[in-house]
Structure 1
């Protein structure tokens, strides 16, 4: 069973335009190498039929629902976003229609939880490594603009419990994450190793599909040989049956005489009787052989057709899976390349430093990490949940 992925982010007015351009794919080029422009037309928005102006819609929602007349602070959070997804294995198991129903179900839950009137957009991205949805909304609660009040710990715990259960009731094989999980974010090297493993697994998957296709082709070739052999055996049985059977004119030429004082008996020569008896026995034997070979021939034809259908299905699935694998492998290669470059860059910097400087560097790194954790806890700017 796959886990639910749900990420909440909080943003100020200055971030809104960039998020709009990313979600609606309004840029010409992207720094994110995972975006495949050829697949971008597959993206869709479950709220809007066409691209919208995020800033204008946010302003309209705030003016219609905020009670206070005071000016909004410049550093206020005016826009929030929830990213919904799962792992690639989850989406591989379901159809495109089911995938859309999955995102619709998640959106329906968020509408009830947040308020449909505060939802701005629900962009589903299918042009990246894993399908996911960006649900944008204005954080209004009790006629007040406040992301802090809306997205608190209670809110997050409820979403953790309720959203996976809601989707599971709709028939999706998904569950929430482990409570109080100690799982930490992977560093660059660990992530690169994981990507390498996934890359190798994908290559194995492609080889498995290729092997299965080759097995089916060999089976069909074997059946072709057996079918030809049985066809020859069938023809031989037909010829033997024709040779061993008396012709109609030969049967008609057999002379016979009535037996005196008997109306149901006749006399024929011993030679004719033996010929007739031999022909009948041979015909019976050959008829059984003919019937057996005919049945075997029909079974072989059906078996051959079955494996042909299997091969056609395999080829069709193989083409679809191969395209998906190529796309994922391409993304993994790019990510590996990028991470490798980052690791080399860090290693070069470390090599250029003295031992004392390296020690100071790692000390400072630990201190910065601690400070960042504290700042995140205090400001509570964004939350990320692995449900």
Structure 2
């Protein structure tokens, strides 16, 4: 089973003295980074900005606060930093232009909810093991107040940020999985890799049952040998798949009840595709397909004779077994 790929968004608040430190780190103003041995100074030239800083972070944030007429306190949060990246598996094999496109898509997500004028810098670091972007902005609300609490809010609002980030990114990168806890709906997102694994295992199981169905007096030994060989590869993958699927039992068991309404909904899909609900309809269709694949696998497994299954589990096939 392929490794999961997660889009990652981390949000942090900064008040005073830390602002100079994050600027020095983000803009690579230090000669050495003893605290971060992953930084390779010979690759610093590969870093780039999607938003260039106009000046020093502190001077620019003070200018913005004055421009918007924000009231401040000594302990006011003045900068929010979004660290945006993905798991290493996502970046594997991607061209520089594809990596840049990922971070550009993430920048567009932030700009949906934060005035682009409040962004101090968006810099992509390519000089560490995994590409990532540091995006720093001044937490000014739509009505012109300096209020990080309103923007980041409580645990529910932070979950909202994670949900919206995933929804935005998965439109362009459908293999990305939701990296945090399920949102408040109580229904877990089923990872795309499980759909692919179900389809792959279904093809394998079908190949095995076809072999056994086409077995006769003349080819019994050859077909049985081949079926056992295929089953020995199939079993570990199937067990791994079943373990993964159990995590989503609650979601999968609820899918059957969706099927009747799905038939009605798909009749109107061409009209609804332009509406926001279309993505949830597509999700239900995908989920229902996974349930069908899973049930088909169970049915296919039931068609395989027990003695053949036992041979595959033992991992050997004796001459007397073939003769039988």
Query: What TM-score do the two structures reach when normalised by structure 1?
Result: 0.44
* Paired residues of 1:165 and 1:175 also in contact (CA < 8 A): no
Kindly provide the CA deviation profile for residues 318-376 of structure 1, in whole angstroms up to 9, marking residues without a partner as x: xxxxxxxxxxxxxxxxxxxxxxxxxxxxxxxxxxxxxxxxxxxxxxxxxxxxxxxxxxx
**2:45 is aligned with 1:45:** no
Aligned to 2:68: 65
> Of 8, 13, 20, which aligns to 1:17?
20
| Shift in Å, 1:178 | 4.5
Count of residue pairs brought into register by the alignment: 177
* Paired residues of 2:166 and 2:177 also in contact (CA < 8 A): yes
Q: Are the structure 2 counterparts of residues 11 and 61 from structure 1 closer, same or farther at C-alpha, using a change threshold of 3 Å?
A: same
Aligned to 1:381: none
Aligned to 2:153: 152
Q: Are the structure 2 counterparts of residues 54 and 93 from structure 1 closer, same or farther at C-alpha, using a change threshold of 3 Å?
A: same
Q: Are the structure 2 counterparts of residues 179 and 123 from structure 1 closer, same or farther at C-alpha, using a change threshold of 3 Å?
A: same
Q: Are the structure 2 counterparts of residues 178 and 139 from structure 1 closer, same or farther at C-alpha, using a change threshold of 3 Å?
A: closer
What CA distance in whole angstroms lies between the structure 2 residues aligned with 1:124 and 1:118?
18
Q: Runs (4+) of structure 1 moved beyond 4 Å?
A: none
Secondary structure (helix, strand or coil) at the match of 2:104 reads helix
Secondary structure (helix, strand or coil) at the match of 1:73 reads coil
User: What runs of 5+ residues in structure 2 fail to find an aligned partner?
Assistant: 184-324
Aligned to 2:58: 55
* Paired residues of 1:3 and 1:174 also in contact (CA < 8 A): yes
Higher RCO by CA contacts (8 Å cutoff, separation 6 or greater)? 1
What CA distance in whole angstroms lies between the structure 2 residues aligned with 1:149 and 1:159?
12
| Shift in Å, 1:125 | 0.5
What CA distance in whole angstroms lies between the structure 2 residues aligned with 1:61 and 1:103?
25
User: What runs of 5+ residues in structure 1 fail to find an aligned partner?
Assistant: 182-387
Secondary structure (helix, strand or coil) at the match of 1:25 reads coil
| Shift in Å, 1:126 | 0.7
* Paired residues of 1:102 and 1:172 also in contact (CA < 8 A): no
| Shift in Å, 1:157 | 2.2
| Pair member with larger Rg | 1
Secondary structure (helix, strand or coil) at the match of 1:140 reads coil
* Paired residues of 2:125 and 2:133 also in contact (CA < 8 A): yes
Give the superposed CA RMSD: 1.9
Secondary structure (helix, strand or coil) at the match of 1:13 reads coil
Query: What TM-score do the two structures reach when normalised by structure 2?
Result: 0.52
Aligned to 2:122: 122
Aligned to 1:173: 175
Aligned to 2:306: none
Q: Are the structure 2 counterparts of residues 178 and 22 from structure 1 closer, same or farther at C-alpha, using a change threshold of 3 Å?
A: closer
| Shift in Å, 1:128 | 0.9
Aligned to 2:239: none
| Shift in Å, 1:94 | 2.1
Aligned to 1:28: 31
| Shift in Å, 1:173 | 2.5
Higher helix share: 1
| Shift in Å, 1:104 | 0.3
Q: Are the structure 2 counterparts of residues 51 and 65 from structure 1 closer, same or farther at C-alpha, using a change threshold of 3 Å?
A: closer
* Paired residues of 2:170 and 2:176 also in contact (CA < 8 A): yes
